[in-house]
Structure 1
């Protein structure tokens, strides 16, 4: 039987079941329970297993009306009635029917096992335990959460030792499931659908099939309950008393979370506890007691949607008006009034806009966006309606919801041209990584604005220029626009505070990091808390990382990652994750760095903010490359690469990611190709500031290895001078190892030694383990090339130990090759019978692995002439004449080191 299409996102569970089948083949019969909530896809999973199985397959399904009939399920399996004196006799009938198949074990599947008769389950268990010579697997499919299972059946199922739990899908799995059905969901809608359905594939598929395709192309559609769930909820409501129904309706209107007191007030109930007990017993309501406060919610979001669907428009509006009188929070009150209002209401619109201004003043852009969108819908004056819609889109971008703002693009572009409209479109272009469009939009906005009449709008445009200048790595422009914004509005206004939060990065980019850090200290004291504090913490952490204070940087950046500030910005959280991943990486916490980068890339994908993606990808590529996972690193490079049309803030880390990938493969010509764009005019200014981007030492190292010594000298000199002027220790250490490489290459081993030792001394008290390993590796290679084999061995061993602790398998192998090439740990008895020297062994291993002479030279830090000399001697000693013969002879050995 050919297998059906594999269920989405169930590879791990399917692999576990297939492993159980292999065990049944090798070890004899056993049983496993496959469990999951209704709709999780347990039956689909087992169906796929059965469809692809080559052996005998017997299937049955438990039914509640057969639960009292002895051996009813066993009769289904055997295809005939079972008349047995006891379960052991019945088990013998089953094992006889299964027979013996030398190819594959038999598969016995019982779906809805909790509804099976007890005798059949006992017989199946007896068959497993009393037929050691047979080969079969019993799979019992159980739906969790069923409270009607008889105790005896529940005990039998609980006694099965092996279990495969089928969890709900996450948002990524929901997207994959939709894609398998020909529907493309944008990430935020996948998040909503996942939360709405609890991630249960059955409910996801039902909604995908029941709703029109247009639903899934909308940005924020209303999600109803699937028809089956809606019918179940109607049945639950039908058996409830009037008070219980009214309580459920009030909870649905109020939304989760809500207190029992609020729900009782909306439903006008004097005795809500009795109604709550009834709703809980009907599996319609759920009571939650948190910190002494009784909260109540519908069983699932789908249940809430189904209850709301039973209310007509008039009843629903009346309930929302009652809710508005009950809730204390101003935002919740206004949301209920909006839900109760079908026609324009200028007074309510003004209230919404006023509260939006309050939220915006604290940097709570997500809340401000929702309020402004509602205000726009309820505004009857066209000019004010359009103005509020534009501001709503601006707040969405500020919150980091680029997808939400992009959904408004057609409507925004149809509005009359105003300075603010162009500023919003430019702002959106910035976070989407489109510099040419952003510059055009922002220039037009500045040309149109009347600074004297609309200073607030002008300041907002200035703040957007600040972000654009930051993404272009133009420090002087950034400071100029930030100062312009500060001169237009009070210092406590959102535009002024946001500009000030970024201004320090521009000050540092122009060579004044100490002044920038001092300014951040003052700004943090003034702002103190709230969403704006998130921005300051992120920028300060970014700057601390550039200055080499890794621990302080990580602490500041970690505080800026959460968005549980009042409306904290996803955009700021994304940047905080990007720089936190870098801090974790340079400190050697690579597992944490990879996790942070993965979370950030997922957030960038879900939010539509491409601007920060390459920075996150750089860390991910670097970790994966150093750990030897070239395929995953290459996929990340492809997904988040950046080119000439993108922002400098995207292009620089993309170059560094490509260089990291090439360097981990020993492709130093590739490193030069990847980093050469950073020597072009577009990459000057802030990109050259010490600590901003660690590219100069990587490129100089590659140039030396490739024999381009004059180019390395030309590159290093101005950067060494600037690092010395700034007193930037980490940059001096990194450039020092590249200088040591260069000095060693020209034969000045004394000066090279001093350069390496100075770098190691600087790094001694810094938590930069990878940098120490890089310096030691280059130092060891240089010493070995100079014939200082014993010194080289000690230094290279240190490098290997650090790389091993980091999990940098690619460099551990290189270090071990270097140590072998030094020959101090190799006796004649350890050598091949052909008596190759350690250097010849290292060369032959690499050539056998497929490297060219030039690549081997780069790997071992030798000249190509020296490699050819060693290779000629290898051929003579081994009695061969070609690289192919060498690969055939030495392949297994070389593979162990690659």
Structure 2
């Protein structure tokens, strides 16, 4: 929609949350003022500051930094000495003799100061010299600001000495233009707020000031962190566990991983499974033990019982022999060990540090832990909780304990807690006596299947391979192979050798073969790339399952068959779906993302029934949040995000896509689909640079998994972003590849994957209108045959792009108006807005400026209603013709070096009052590119501030 941008052709994945922080801080500092970054020790404040400082200084901004430490807190002016350590002596020339003497004494730059020391006799500790010192510092900083914006960085402000803090507060109150402050504060260092922020860090920053809390890392960021620091490639489930145990704190995650690596590499231990405690290094244990060490004996005992319980509450602890539990836990809360107690005695007690229960139990004598388990087993009225403690009290195989654990696993499964069910099921197998081999196998397989539902794929795979090493019955072996297949997620290419062995183990049993053919259907589509061959397997699976009475497999196979027939454009797709939806129902199939209820929303989508699709998915999401697999919930959220985009609700779509990604990361599942959803949502309502990063991540994950089902979607997502950024050559290459893959798989319904219009628009923009017209004609034939009005409307916009590229502007405008009307009738406000924005550009080219401005205004209203932030900025910029500006040179001056097109666009928006982030969004640039262009423009124009820029800009001449 604008000039070609400098979107990168390849970037390293950056999650939305951290990228958002960097952009937020840059935008705030670009306005002037200050930012205070807060967060606990090890959360990454200093790393973020270093990255921001490097970015800003790389674009010509002067930076001065101090990093105080605890031992320097009582040394006067040590922070100021650190901050001004690189101050050139020439900057002191603006000072009067007395001012210079005071500042040099304070900074220990004079012989007298070196003899006496700052703040001692003769130093500016108080009185008149203290005021002179403040004035002197302000003057020398003004000299530095004369060369461009100045950033002061104070890292770990809680250790800043008081005299330096007072000087910085003085500067902040003055609010000198061109001066900004970035400070960090370590929160949660002690139970009293006064110990956390002794200097009043917020007052160090000039107004406007913004406090930004650095959030914990996501599981994906923790995985990247470990990779960057050359840690072992731990299984995904173990990485997810490291993320949970570290609370997303990067320093803690690194130390836990290092301790685990030492145990595995040096001591020769096995990688721990989900039931084994992780090794906690002394650097992490010691602070926890220090906090625990100050607790009274009674409070520590109560805390041990709470740490032993699966879901501790005040009421449970009272029944378990801790009558003063509320008082004891209040003491623990004041020491920063647990969260402050809620009003209800039935709310679960939460530890602030996930490592605390582990360390506490490791330091507690074994007999005391046994007493705690016994007390909790007697006190609990929850079968899951009671079974958990009884198991801990048993020393070996016990059929009664195993039976109770099986019952508890069933209860956990019914309440929608498959992870708990899987853990209890495995315990049940371990307590099963040796003479009950078949019972043991059954319990392990059930636990493995619960692990699949919970997304704990490594756990499930481990149990399945154990069964394959012991079992000899065909039904048990095929069931175990099914777990192995299901645990690979999107990466089915990794298990090519599994299917022949599984078919041999099935020994011709039609019920077992039905289950395998269903899974072979998925492999044929995802890895083989053939929807037709996949359908053959699905049809065979459904028939075999129907003949043996396996309704679950029959329903899943019928759903797969219907999905493939829809993709292939076969008329029997509707009949097949109806058969899958008919009674009798299977609860598992009806709540699965590969089941008929989920597929039903896709049939609504191809018929442009967006509200109906949303209603189906919302009902399914609600059910899955109560009880369901992480994979199914994530996939439903992905589908719901796409529907919300089309319905013109971009903010909810962003939220849903990010939720899906978090679920996928925490469960250790294949991430390609979730990154794809994030890319779509960011494209519609977030940031195009973040959208590009997400699309590239989706493509990378799909390539790594050899997932040909999602790879074309990732390519399509990236191609659209390149198209919107004006990178038509790159867009054509990506969209052509996506189209080739989809066509090779057998796509015959253009409503199932809507890449055709985007490819045609990219081809038209790239000078290939004939090829674009051929793409449109082929897709139009399919859409007309199947009755797809929404697809036909979007193809109308693409056809207008072809006409416009050939100079037939009147015809193009006519088609665009028609397409916009049809998109409104079909209920696609976001696509209608895109179409009206294109209409505005065509009318402007045709010389119809009033019509163009009206079209842009209409598009802007629709984008605003949809909260489509990048499109709002781009459309507003086009409507206002921001580039049509002239500059008033400084008096008696002129410019020998003209502005580039990008610099001119950036300057024009600065003059309109836009922030750097808003400019980046509007021009489809990165914030870094905007900052660099603005820095160059400052130099060329001789401007020192945004105010100077505004004064130089003249309104466009009127005709």
| TM-score, normalization by structure 1 | 0.68
Matched, 1:434 2:527: no
Unaligned segments of structure 1, at least 5 residues: 1-7, 68-73, 821-825, 831-844, 850-898
Per-residue deviation at 1:732? 3.4
1:532-547 equivalent positions in 2, closer than 5 A: 537-547=597-607
1:573 deviates by 2.1
Matches within 5 A, 1:68-107: 79=118, 81=120, 88=127, 91=130, 101=140
Conserved in 1, the CA contact under 8 Å of 2:73 and 2:160? yes
Q: CA deviation at 1:251?
A: 0.5
Return the alpha-carbon distance in structure 2 between the equivalents of residues 666 and 19 of structure 1: 24
Alignment partner for residue 688 of structure 1, among 748, 754, 761? 748
Counting only pairs closer than 5 Å after superposition, residues 466-545 of structure 1 correspond to structure 2 as 467-468=522-523, 471=526, 473=531, 474-475=534-535, 477-482=537-542, 484-489=544-549, 491=551, 495=553, 505-506=563-564, 508-509=566-567, 510-512=570-572, 514-515=574-575, 537-545=597-605
1:873 corresponds to which residue? none
> In structure 2, do the counterparts of structure 1 residues 20 and 619 end up closer, same or farther at CA, with 3 Å as the change threshold?
closer
The verdict on how the C-alpha distance between 1:357 and 1:524 changes in structure 2, with shifts beyond 3 A counting, is same
8 Å Cα contact 1:586/1:768 also seen in 2: yes
* Structure 2 equivalent of residue 254 of structure 1: 309
CA distance in 1, matches of 2:152, 2:859: 51
Q: Which residue of 2 aligns with 1:549?
A: 609
Contact preservation (8 Å) 1:446, 1:461:
yes
Residue among 274, 277, 286 paired with 1:222: 277
* 1:572 equivalenced with 2:620 (yes/no): no
Query: Offset at 1:768?
Result: 1.5
> Do residues 397 (structure 1) and 459 (structure 2) align?
no
Q: Partners of 1:621 and 1:422 in 2: how far apart? A: 39
Summarize the Cα distance change of 1:794–1:688 in structure 2 as closer, same or farther, 3 Å threshold: farther
Instruction: Assess, with a 3 A threshold, how the Cα gap between structure 1 residues 718 and 347 changes in structure 2: closer, same or farther.
Output: farther
Task: Tell me the distance in 2 between the aligned counterparts of 1:293 and 1:240.
Answer: 24
Cross-structure match for 1:652? 712
Does structure 1 conserve the Cα–Cα contact (< 8 Å) formed by 2:119 and 2:125?
no
Q: Distance in 1 between matches of 2:811 and 2:156?
A: 77
**Residues 629 and 488 (structure 1 numbering): CA distance in 2 closer, same or farther, change over 3 Å?**
same
Distance 1:572 1:664, change over 3 A: same
Q: Distance in 2 between matches of 1:739 and 1:623?
A: 22
The structural deviation recorded for 1:308 is 0.6
Question: After superposition, what is the alpha-carbon deviation per residue over 1:520-543, rounded to whole angstroms, capped at 9, x for unaligned?
Answer: 776799859995599665333333
Change (3 A) 1:637 1:270: closer
Matches within 5 A, 1:655-674: 655-657=715-717, 659-661=719-721, 663-664=723-724, 673-674=733-734
Paired residues of 2:518 and 2:538 also in contact (CA < 8 A): no
Deviation of 1:766 after TM superposition, in Å, equals 2.4
SS at match of 2:709: helix
Q: CA deviation at 1:263?
A: 1.5
1:303 aligns with 2:341: no
Q: For the Cα contact (< 8 Å) 1:736–1:756, is it kept in 2?
A: yes
Contact 2:816–2:835 (Cα < 8 Å) also in 1: yes
- Distance in 2 between residues matched to 1:749 and 1:11, nearest whole Å: 41
The offset of 1:82, in angstroms, is 6.3
Radius of gyration: which is bigger?
A: 1
Q: For residue 328 of structure 1, give the secondary structure of its aligned residue in structure 2.
A: coil
Displacement, 1:482? 3.9
1:464 aligns with 2:512: no
Q: What is the DSSP-based 3-state SS (H/G/I as helix, E as strand, rest coil) of the residue aligned with 2:342?
A: strand
Aligned residue for 2:545, secondary structure, equals helix
Match of 1:608 among 666, 669, 672: 669
User: Which of residues 479, 500, 515 is equivalent to 1:420?
Assistant: 479
2:158 and 2:199 in contact (8 A); partners too: no
The Cα shift of 1:254 comes to 0.3
Partner SS state of residue 753, structure 2: coil
- Structure 2 unaligned residues grouped into runs of 5+: 1-14, 77-104, 109-116, 145-149, 266-270, 887-900, 906-959
Say if 1:83 and 1:702 are closer, same or farther in 2 by CA, change over 3 A: closer
Indicate conservation of the 8 Å contact 1:581/1:616, yes or no. Answer: yes
**What is the Cα deviation at residue 252 of structure 1?**
0.8
CA distance in 2, matches of 1:48, 1:717: 50
Give the conservation status (yes or no) of the 8 Å contact 1:614–1:642.
Answer: no
The question of whether the paired residues in 2 share the 8 Å contact of 1:203 and 1:226 is answered with no
Aligned to 2:917: none
Answer yes or no: is the 8 Å Cα contact 1:663–1:671 preserved in 2.
yes
Q: Determine the C-alpha separation between the residues in 2 that align with 1:760 and 1:108.
A: 51
Q: CA RMSD in A?
A: 6.2
Residue aligning to 1:349? 402
2:198 paired with 1:169: no
Partner residue in 1 for 2:644 = 584
Distance 1:60 1:700, change over 3 A: closer
Higher RCO, 1 or 2 (CA under 8 Å, sep at least 6)?
A: 2
Counterparts of 1:402 and 1:619, CA distance in 2: 27
In the other structure, the counterpart of 1:183 is 231
TM-fit CA distance, 1:649? 1.9
Whether the 8 Å CA contact 1:459–1:489 is kept in 2: the answer is no
Match of 2:506 in 1: 449
Cα distance between partner residues in 2 of 1:519 and 1:310: 59
Secondary structure of the equivalent of 1:338? helix
Distance (Å, rounded) in 1 between the aligned partners of 2:154 and 2:814: 73
1:744 and 1:122 map into 2 onto residues whose CA distance is: 62
SS in 1 for 2:670: coil
Is 2:735–2:759's contact at 8 Å kept on the other side of the alignment? yes
Residue 190 of structure 2 aligns with which residue?
A: 146
Q: Distance in 1 between matches of 2:848 and 2:49?
A: 62
Equivalent residue in structure 1 for 2:318, among 264, 273, 280: 264
Q: 2:385 matched to 1:332?
A: yes
CA positional deviation for 1:583:
1.9
Give 2:891's aligned residue.
none
TM-score relative to the length of structure 2:
0.65
Cα gap change, 1:546 to 1:38, in 2 (>3 Å): same
Name the residue aligned to 2:96.
none
Q: Which 10-residue stretch deviates more, 760-769 or 671-680?
A: 671-680
Paired with 2:22 and 2:673, the residues of 1 have a C-alpha distance of 36
Q: How far is the alpha carbon of 1:395 from its aligned partner?
A: 3.5
User: Is the counterpart of residue 196 in structure 1 residue 245 in structure 2?
Assistant: yes
CA contact (8 A) 2:716 2:738 kept: no
CA distance in 2: counterparts of 1:301 and 1:481, whole angstroms: 46
d(CA) in 2 for partners of 1:792, 1:97: 59
Q: Is the 8 A contact 2:464 2:480 kept in 1?
A: no
Identify the range of structure 1 (157-166 vs 268-277) with the bigger mean alpha-carbon deviation: 157-166
Residues 296 and 348 of structure 1: is their aligned pair in 2 closer, same or farther, counting only changes over 3 Å? same
SS of residue paired to 1:419:
helix
Residues 647 and 827, structure 2, Cα contact 8 Å, conserved in 1:
yes
Closer, same or farther in 2 for the Cα pair 1:559/1:218, shift >3 Å?
farther
After TM superposition, the structure 1 stretch with the greater mean CA deviation from structure 2, 575-584 or 650-659, is 650-659
